């Protein structure tokens, strides 16, 4: 659990830094997430599970933590994630 908490801490720190720098790229990234992840042709839960797979494939630990948390919040089950 300590490693997950450290990943969350680093992700939140990076988020704060990018916001404080007023990064246009990061702002657009956040806007893209708001548009892409709500229910549409695919429900949010399925989109988050796909994002978990992409995070694993790209070996992005902070992405994995974020999308696993989001998938769980969207009520993805362990069975759905395996």
Q: Where are the domains of the chain?
A: 2-73
Question: What's domain 2-73's superfamily in CATH?
Answer: AhpD-like (1.20.1290.10)
User: Is 24's pLDDT higher than 80?
Assistant: yes
Distance CA 5, CA 77 (A): 22
Tokens at residue 27, please? 């702002």
Q: In sequence order, which ranges of the chain are alpha helices (DSSP H)? A: 2-20, 24-36, 44-58, 61-73
Confidence at residue 80, expressed as pLDDT on a 0 to 100 scale: 85
The CA-based angle 58-68-33, given to 5 degrees, is: 75
User: In the predicted model, what is the mean pLDDT of residues 63-80?
Assistant: 93
Give the confidence band of 22 by pLDDT, cuts at 50, 70, 90.
Answer: very high
User: In the predicted model, what is the mean pLDDT of residues 52-63?
Assistant: 96
Give the confidence band of 82 by pLDDT, cuts at 50, 70, 90.
Answer: confident
């Amino acid at each position: 659990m300590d490693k997950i908490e450290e990943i969350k801490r680093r992700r939140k720190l990076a988020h704060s830094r990018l916001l404080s720098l007023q990064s246009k790229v990061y702002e657009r990234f956040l806007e893209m997430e708001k548009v892409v992840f709500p229910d549409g042709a695919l429900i949010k839960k399925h989109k988050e599970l796909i994002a978990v797979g992409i995070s694993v494939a790209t070996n992005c630990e902070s992405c994995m933590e974020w999308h696993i948390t989001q998938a769980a919040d969207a009520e993805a089950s362990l069975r759905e994630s395996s």
